[in-house]
């Protein structure tokens, strides 16, 4: 056994990451051309209206994203981390969750946030710099964005351990990127999850890049195989195929809920935009790569399928476009109307209980500010969301 | 009245908290069957089960990171870090996650997590087992940092830390684990001094000596010795390192006009620097001498055969008292 | 004479060191083709190759840990931490390994490792991208901690840090990366001020304002504004946070009798506390007022839309100067 | 491919760690009964005198260890971490190293230290508290003991990266325990080593326990399989079989030197004693387990083999015993003669270059001490070692 394992690992090692652009074997239910295919392990029964709803989600989150990018260019946001290209990975996994499941996102999970009913303005608020998110995580079962790479995977695992203690039939999804797999925290999360058999799905969006670093800087074998080293299953899914992502994530969540422990899902996808609006990818990658991934667009293939099968007509697509326009307008208006926080809010919420130093500094600063100006108030507005 | 050790005080505090609230968990390396390397969690797993007293994998970032997740789910985890020097792998989880998450979430969530750290030297241990790293955490906004110095405080402060809805770093002076005191178990938690209060342990008029954790006993011994030479030292047990009980501290500084701060941690940017800065800022015209610091040196903690030279002791405290009085 | 930015100063310093010594390596996340997120390492990989300018996996503990190994093998790694808030995963490697290994080895080995950290706020960034964590490292024996404030210092201090046989944490004030100054390239490294010297940037008689890194410019602006009101402020650029250039600092404190320390980091146990404690200890009878501190608040760094309120600015410095003068 | 991998990982996960006491499949060249067996992947040609030398090493390091334990009991050492039971894992791997190879130990590698020529008194010095080891790492190509679990694996990897840059035909061994595999640092070391293809052998002594925690608290699959998740080979060797350890480590080192990158060697062994002299294993483990491992003693099997094959006679064994007695006497005498460090040595070696604060504190302390006493000097003695 030991020699076999050693031997096979050696083979794997020799294999390395397949050359860029080559087609890795992955779970797929809808081809880039919009053809529905079957997979022996993952079947998916899906009603037409669910299919259309997925399409709608994909279009709407892309529109929120592009509007946010535009707002950043106009100086309304400090920065924006675009999900362009990763809509299917996020909507597929987000829609796979049950209401009681809980998600721990990175800073790019705008599509998952949408599925959990988080107002897109909350996301913009963070990138505008008025707060760090501002939604109630427990209301949405969607944790705040985590910016320190990988840290949230341990929170997710702990949360899942708590669900297990509660005897809840729920599961957690921990989102992270390909780069994040190199962090100690992520690997420790794998260990805790496997040792405690915690109901957590590790959902890695391998978008091929960690800022300027290609996946080869993080691993020499396909990422989903990392799970093998920790004794739980890993599976690679076409991250641009919303149906496959839905099916694979659903199965993984169900396994977790049923006590089979963690699964690593590698959603094989591509970051079509810059890392963030501050980034300039022309410095480190070839447009040719981008072009080849354009052919695998996560939205186009669903549209092609809906059109070919007659499951949606032009009126439907027009309707979704209209909705997207409205949503973009809502996002733009809400963003422009967002007021800056009260300076004294710096001292709010640092502690749950009284803290003399913070109180003292708050008072002193209030007195100091009074010599200049009076503080502004904060406004809020109701919001359309994709939530339950 | 029962005679208990400091280790037993923490143990009984944990037990009381676990009995009072089923959400309280104990987790860490070897806290289960072994009862921890200092036996502080002795018997807890036997009585509360493996589900509530959790032997974790050997990974401190994992301990704190999963504790945060458990707290988000409604639990109140008490994490043991086996020795002071092993908390650093968890540093990011403590300062970027545990400390900041509540503010990040606009108060929608709280993280009632306690991190217990046996702290300090004097037990003849090898490297990394004798560190005093309280300044790192006291400098970190979002945390509360406390240090117990005796069995009775250990018992109450443990429970108070667990009851707090904020993250608390609880320092336990490991070389005082076996010190004994009488505990009046009939006292209710509410009757104990507030968690963030300092305590004037010995009243005096000449010089204030401020200490915390393991150095409190040493400071008291110094005060006794000084009394024989006619020096009347006031000893303040700081108890809370962040936030500070500035009222008690300032009152004492104003009274004596002379302050000596004692701790094992290196002096540069140690607690003594903050106390000196703050006391001087608040009591400028009351001070007869600069606040003096008696601390560990600004070197790595040395091999144990020379640790007694590194650690502040009675003589070094008295030397500083003399210097303070010489102003 | 060439006009350079602070970012370019570091870049040129790295280049000069790499040209002078083939053992100098640059490593970190995105330091290669991208040239780092601030372009500080721009062009280095192109000219020195992937073997010397190394894009590492996304793991900070790994960056510092492998840099230590490379240093043990005779290399001189310069590690980039992408943003201040991302150094914590490497905390154990920095404070328990990098800082202590030389003493552990009785001096048989040295670790000439530089850790470059873009530091501080004011650039409108999201969480963790604006932190000032110098106090953690300045409190750590075994490290040297320096902060540059202008392009010329950036150029020389980078080279001096690399030339040091001790580990050096080099803070680069990220919001000053685009500040410009004239560099006289004909100056040799030996002609630059020693790495651990402070610099009196502006002589004055009324109050000493001590600042470092990003706050130096603000302090200078405050001094100019104060001059219009007839206040003659002396500005000291600390440059070295550990060890301190106590001679320069004390001389200034003695001269003016009033000191204000300015930094972005939270005040509690920040550099200001050590400076206040030390200056008061050494210059007790020369001080007309307590050392005052103008610092970030003791809260997590706030969202960027309110960061200008959090950060010390000209007005808050002048307010402290007035308070100091009112004693 | 993805499904297969996922499937096989699932099987593995289902398999879990074999029940305690069951015989895992591992590379073995010498049975517990002292019979020489062959292994298809690992052959070993070994001369009789080399064999006897290995036996001698095993006996001598065990004697150093037991003498140190005795000295601790008598209050001469603050603590001692016994290698009892792990002699073969350490001597086998230590002797597999070439002179230019470099080792990064934990705190228990007394047997490896022996092979690298480190004076046993240096080890005792650390546990007595007179220094942190006190040998020159570069003279022995043996780094100082590292106490923070796992930290040294990154140093080892960096060192190996340096060797690679130098074009050296050498390799590094990183030692660590079963518990250490849970640390982020160790997993990051796996990642750096595999991505940079660094010439490093990860040598894990799985002695079944991390203080009171059994291996099940760290992993749910055999540890050597962890390597699979990182794309390099892992192999489990009978850690009580000095010949198998020698052969497996030699092969792994040779692969590393030849550019094949890292290997994880899991030496399956058992901690026969307490974790350290401060520990009380009766609180958490059954003597029955201990008894079963006694039958697999690493020294007895070599002796049995030497006796049965006539490769050594009684005179030889007697000679080794005498040497062991002499070594024990040397260790005892040296330990008792070790003087405490000069108090002012606290300030030595903290920095390579001048440091005003340290100098100031040193001076002040010297002045202060002068009011009490004058400091003692340090003595040193020449030493017999097992080194090159
Ligand atoms: C601990 C830490 N180190 C560095 C960074 C800076 N950083 C932000 S995003 C990023 C790359 C992340 O790559 P990946 O995990 O693949 O996620 P992606 O951005 O591609 O979605 C880096 C290095 C960080 N946020 N946290
Ligand atoms: C980071 C860190 N955490 C905790 C400890 C305390 N500790 C010392 S040894 C040990 C167990 C190590 O187990 P293993 O890795 O299996 O090695 P073994 O002692 O069995 O040789 C622990 C928890 C430590 N030294 N470092
Ligand atoms: Mg990525
Ligand atoms: Mg072990």
Q: Between B92, B99, B271, which is nearest C91 by CB?
A: B92
Q: Does B273 touch chain D (CB under 8 A)?
A: no
Q: Does A182 touch chain D (CB under 8 A)?
A: yes
Q: Residue A115: pLDDT above 70?
A: yes
**Per-residue pLDDT, B62:** 98
Is the same domain home to B185 and B204?
A: no
CB contact under 8 A, B303 and D217: no
**Per-residue pLDDT, D23:** 52
Alpha helix (H) ranges present in B188-313? 215-228, 246-256, 271-282, 307-310
Rounded to a whole number of angstroms, the distance from the CA of C144 to the nearest CA of chain D is 9
Per-residue 3-state assignment (H helix, E strand, C coil) for chain D: CHHHHHHHHHHHHHHCCCCCCCCCCCECCECCCCCECCCCCCCCCCCHHHHHHHHHHHHHHHHHHHHHHHHHHCCCCCCCCCCCCCHHHHHHHHHHCCCCCEEECCCCCHHHHHHCCCCHHHHHHHHHCCCCCCCCHHHHCECCCCCCCCHHHHHHHHHHHHHHHHCCCCCEEEEEECHHHHCHHHHHHHHHHHHHCCCEEEEEEECCEECCEEHHHCCCCCHHHHHHHHCCCEEEEECCCHHHHHHHHHHHHHHHHCCCCCEEEEEECCCCCCCCCCCCHHHCCCHHHHHHHHCCCHHHHHHHHHHHHCCCCHHHHHHHHHHHHHHHHHHHHHHHHCCCCCHHHHHCCCCCCCCHHHHHHHHHHHHHHHCCCCCCCCCCCCCCCCCC
Tens-place pLDDT, residues D186-221: 999 999 999 999 999 999 999 999 999 999 999 999
Last residue within a domain, chosen from C191, C219, C247: C191
Dihedrals φ, ψ of C211, to 5°? Answer: -140, 170
Contacting C residues, span 220-249, partner chain D, CB-CB under 8 Å? 242-244, 246
Lowest mean pLDDT among A12-16, D263-267, D313-317, D336-340: A12-16
Is the same domain home to C157 and C211?
A: no
Q: Residue A213: enclosing H or E segment and its boundaries?
A: strand A213-214
Tens-place pLDDT, residues B237-296: 999 999 999 999 999 999 999 999 999 999 999 999 999 999 999 999 999 999 999 999
Q: Does C277 touch chain D (CB under 8 A)?
A: no
Q: Does C66 touch chain D (CB under 8 A)?
A: yes
Q: Does B303 touch chain D (CB under 8 A)?
A: yes
Is the same domain home to C171 and C313?
A: no
Q: Residue B136: pLDDT above 50?
A: yes
Tens-place pLDDT, residues D17-39: 444 444 558 999 999 999 999 99
D98 lines ligand 2 (CB under 6 A): no
CB contact under 8 A, A155 and B68: yes
**Per-residue pLDDT, D225:** 97
Of residues A8 and C201, more confidently modeled:
C201
CB contacts, 8 Å: D132 with chain B: 126-127, 303
Q: Residue A343: pLDDT above 70?
A: yes
Last residue within a domain, chosen from C191, C213, C235: C191
**Per-residue pLDDT, B266:** 98
Of residues D339 and A388, more confidently modeled:
D339
CB contact under 8 A, B305 and D127: no
C58 lines ligand 1 (CB under 6 A): yes
CB contacts, 8 Å: A342 with chain B: none
| Average of per-residue pLDDT values in chain A | 92
CB contact under 8 A, A195 and D219: yes
pLDDT above 70 coverage of chain D, percent: 90
Q: Which of A13, A22, A185, A252 is the best residue to mutate to test the D interface, defined by the most D CB atoms within 10 Å of its own CB?
A: A13
CB contact under 8 A, C57 and D195: yes
CB contacts, 8 Å: B86 with chain D: 148-149
Lowest mean pLDDT among A84-98, A120-134, D362-376: D362-376
Tens-place pLDDT, residues A188-242: 999 999 999 999 999 999 999 999 999 999 999 999 999 999 999 999 999 999 9
Q: Which mutation among D179, D182, D266, D271 tests ligand 2's pocket best, with the greatest number of atoms within 8 A of CB?
A: D179
Q: How far apart are CA C7 and CA C228, in angstroms?
A: 32
**Per-residue pLDDT, A385:** 52
CB contact under 8 A, B104 and A133: yes
**Per-residue pLDDT, D385:** 52
Residue given tokens 């987000």 in the structure block:
A94
Q: Which mutation among C62, C81, C82 tests ligand 1's pocket best, with the greatest number of atoms within 8 A of CB?
A: C82
End-to-end CA distance of chain D: 49
To the nearest 10°, report the CA torsion of A211, A216, A219, A222.
Answer: 110
Is the same domain home to C150 and C209?
A: no
Name the pairing type of β-strands C199-202 and C233-237. Answer: antiparallel
Interface ipTM: 0.96
Q: Residue D7: pLDDT above 90?
A: no
Name the pairing type of β-strands C76-80 and C114-119. Answer: parallel
**D368-374 LR contacts (CB < 8 Å, sep 24+):** D368/B316, D368/B319, D369/B309, D369/D343, D369/D344, D372/B315
Q: Which two tokens stand for residue D348?
A: 């030595």
* Burial class of residue D75 in the structure, from the number of CB atoms within 10 Å of its CB (0-12 exposed, 13-18 middle, 19+ buried): exposed
Q: Residue D90: pLDDT above 70?
A: yes
Closest ligand 1 atom to residue A148 Cα is 26
CB contacts, 8 Å: D133 with chain B: none
Tens-place pLDDT, residues A47-99: 999 999 999 999 999 999 999 999 999 999 999 999 999 999 999 999 999 99
D275 lines ligand 2 (CB under 6 A): yes
* pLDDT classification of A6: cutoffs 50, 70, 90: very low
Tens-place pLDDT, residues D61-76: 999 999 999 999 999 9
CB contact under 8 A, A341 and C305: yes
Q: Residue D290: pLDDT above 80?
A: yes
Is the same domain home to B250 and B141?
A: no
Closest ligand 2 atom to residue D181 Cα is 15
Is the same domain home to C23 and C124?
A: yes
Q: Residue D377: pLDDT above 80?
A: no
Q: How far apart are CA B48 and CA B33, in angstroms?
A: 12
CATH number for B153: 3.40.50.970
> A298 CA to middle of ligand 3, Å?
17
> Chain C residue with minimal CA distance to D104?
C69
Of residues C240 and A3, more confidently modeled:
C240
* pLDDT classification of A23: cutoffs 50, 70, 90: low
Q: Does C55 touch chain A (CB under 8 A)?
A: yes
Interface of A with B (CB under 8 A): 131-139, 143-144, 146, 148, 151, 153-163, 165-166, 184-185, 188-189, 191-192, 195, 348-353, 355-358
Ligand closest to the CA atom of residue A84: 1
| β-pair partners for D385 | none
Q: Residue A381: pLDDT above 90?
A: no
Interface of A with C (CB under 8 A): 78-79, 107, 126-132, 147-149, 179-180, 182-185, 210-213, 217-218, 278-279, 283-284, 340-343, 345-347, 350, 357-358, 361, 365, 368-369, 372
Q: Which of A4, A5, A182, A234 is the best residue to mutate to test the D interface, defined by the most D CB atoms within 10 Å of its own CB?
A: A5
CB contact under 8 A, A9 and D233: yes
> C86 CA to middle of ligand 1, Å?
10
CATH number for B238: 3.40.50.920
Is the same domain home to C215 and C241?
A: yes
B82 lines ligand 2 (CB under 6 A): yes
Domains of chain B: total? 2
CB burial of A10-26 (b: ≥16 within 10 Å; e: otherwise) equals bebbeeebeeeeeeeeb
Last residue within a domain, chosen from B169, B191, B213: B191
Residues (pLDDT < 70) of chain C are none
Q: How far apart are CA A306 and CA A367, in angstroms?
A: 63
Query: Which residues, 6 or more positions from B315, have their beta carbon under 8 angstroms from its beta carbon?
Result: D372
End-to-end CA distance of chain A: 49
The chains found to touch C (3+ Cβ pairs under 8 angstroms) are A, B, D
Is the same domain home to C56 and C135?
A: yes
Residues in chain A: 388
| Average of per-residue pLDDT values in chain B | 98
Is the same domain home to B215 and B164?
A: no
Rounded to a whole number of angstroms, the distance from the CA of D75 to the nearest CA of chain C is 23
> B87 CA to middle of ligand 4, Å?
20
Is the same domain home to C213 and C167?
A: no
Is the same domain home to C7 and C125?
A: yes
Question: Is the distance from CB of C297 to CB of C247 less than 8 angstroms?
Answer: no
Query: Which residues, 6 or more positions from D58, have their beta carbon under 8 angstroms from its beta carbon?
Result: D87, D88, D91, D111, D242, D298, D299, D302
Query: Which residues, 6 or more positions from D373, have their beta carbon under 8 angstroms from its beta carbon?
Result: none
Is the same domain home to C185 and C216?
A: no
Rounded to a whole number of angstroms, the distance from the CA of C224 to the nearest CA of chain D is 33
Question: Is the distance from CB of B271 to CB of B212 less than 8 angstroms?
Answer: yes
Q: How far apart are CA C105 and CA A314, in angstroms?
A: 75
CB contact under 8 A, B61 and A357: no
Which range of residues forms the domain containing residue C17? Answer: 2-191
CB contact under 8 A, C62 and A182: yes
**Per-residue pLDDT, A10:** 35
Q: Between C29, C126, C298, which is nearest A213 by CB?
A: C29
Tens-place pLDDT, residues C81-135: 999 999 999 999 999 999 999 999 999 999 999 999 999 999 999 999 999 999 9
* pLDDT classification of A25: cutoffs 50, 70, 90: confident
Q: Which mutation among B82, B83, B118 tests ligand 2's pocket best, with the greatest number of atoms within 8 A of CB?
A: B82
* pLDDT classification of D372: cutoffs 50, 70, 90: confident
């Amino acid at each position: 056994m030991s020699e076999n394992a050693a031997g096979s690992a050696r083979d794997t090692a020799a294999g390395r990451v397949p050359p860029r652009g080559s087609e890795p074997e992955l779970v797929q239910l809808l081809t880039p051309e919009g053809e529905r295919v079957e997979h022996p392990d993952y079947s998916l029964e899906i009603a037409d209206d669910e299919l259309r709803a997925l399409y709608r989600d994909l279009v709407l989150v892309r529109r929120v994203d592009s509007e946010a990018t535009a707002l950043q260019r106009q100086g309304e946001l400090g920065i924006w981390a675009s999900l362009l290209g990763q809509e299917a990975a996020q909507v597929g996994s987000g829609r796979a969750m049950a209401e009681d499941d809980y998600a721990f996102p990175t800073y790019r999970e705008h599509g998952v946030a949408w599925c959990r009913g988080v107002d897109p303005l909350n996301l913009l608020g963070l990138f505008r710099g008025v707060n760090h998110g501002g939604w109630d995580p427990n209301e949405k079962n969607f944790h705040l964005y985590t910016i320190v790479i990988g840290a949230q995977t341990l929170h997710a695992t702990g949360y899942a351990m708590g669900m297990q203690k509660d005897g809840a039939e729920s599961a957690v999804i921990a989102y992270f990127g390909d780069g994040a797999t190199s962090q100690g925290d992520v690997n420790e999360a794998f260990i805790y999850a496997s040792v405690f058999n915690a109901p957590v799905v590790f959902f890695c969006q391998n978008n091929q890049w960690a800022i300027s670093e290609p996946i080869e800087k993080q691993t020499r074998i396909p990422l989903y195989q990392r799970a093998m080293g920790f004794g739980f299953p890993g599976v690679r899914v076409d991250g641009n195929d919303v149906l496959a992502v839905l099916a694979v994530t659903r199965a993984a969540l169900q396994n977790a809920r049923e006590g089979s422990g963690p699964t690593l899902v590698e959603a094989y996808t591509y970051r079509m935009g810059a890392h963030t609006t501050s980034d300039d990818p022309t410095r480190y990658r070839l447009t040719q790569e981008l072009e080849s991934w354009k052919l695998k667009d996560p939205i186009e293939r669903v549209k092609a399928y809906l059109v070919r099968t007659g499951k949606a007509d032009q009126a439907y697509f027009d309707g979704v476009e209209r909705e997207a326009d409205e949503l973009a307008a809502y996002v733009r208006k809400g963003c422009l109307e967002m007021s800056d926080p009260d300076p004294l809010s710096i001292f709010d919420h640092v502690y749950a209980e009284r803290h003399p130093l913070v109180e003292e500094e708050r008072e002193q600063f209030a007195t100091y500010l009074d010599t200049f100006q009076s503080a502004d108030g904060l406004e809020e507005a109701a919001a359309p969301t994709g939530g339950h | 009245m029962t005679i208990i050790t400091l280790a037993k005080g923490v143990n009984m505090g944990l037990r009381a908290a676990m009995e009072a609230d089923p959400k309280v968990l104990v987790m860490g390396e070897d806290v289960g069957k072994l009862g921890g390397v200092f036996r502080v969690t002795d018997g807890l797993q036997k009585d509360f089960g493996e589900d509530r007293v959790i032997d974790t994998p050997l990974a401190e970032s994992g301990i704190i990171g999963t504790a945060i997740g458990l707290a988000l789910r409604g639990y109140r985890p008490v994490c043991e870090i086996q020795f002071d020097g092993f908390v650093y792998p968890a540093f990011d989880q403590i300062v970027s996650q545990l400390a900041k998450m509540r503010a990040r979430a606009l108060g929608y969530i709280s993280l009632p997590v306690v991190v217990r750290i046996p702290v300090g030297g004097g037990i003849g241990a090898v490297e990394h087992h004798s560190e005093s790293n309280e300044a790192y955490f006291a400098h970190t906004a979002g945390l509360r940092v406390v240090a117990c110095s005796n069995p009775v405080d250990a018992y109450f402060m443990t429970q108070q830390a667990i009851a707090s809805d904020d993250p608390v770093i609880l320092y336990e002076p490991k070389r005082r684990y076996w010190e004994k005191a009488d505990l009046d178990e009939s006292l209710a938690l509410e009757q104990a001094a507030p968690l963030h209060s300092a305590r004037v342990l010995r009243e005096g008029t000449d010089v204030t000596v401020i200490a915390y954790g393991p150095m409190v006993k040493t400071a008291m011994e110094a005060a006794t010795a000084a009394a024989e030479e006619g020096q009347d030292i006031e000893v303040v047990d700081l108890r809370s390192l962040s936030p500070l009980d500035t009222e008690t501290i300032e009152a004492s500084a104003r009274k004596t006009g002379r302050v000596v701060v004692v701790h094992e941690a290196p002096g540069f940017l140690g607690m003594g620097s903050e106390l000196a800065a703050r006391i001087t800022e608040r009591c400028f015209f009351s001070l007869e001498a600069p606040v003096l610091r008696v601390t560990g040196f600004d070197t790595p903690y040395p091999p144990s055969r020379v640790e007694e030279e590194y650690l502040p002791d009675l003589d070094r405290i008295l030397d500083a008292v003399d210097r303070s009085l010489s102003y």
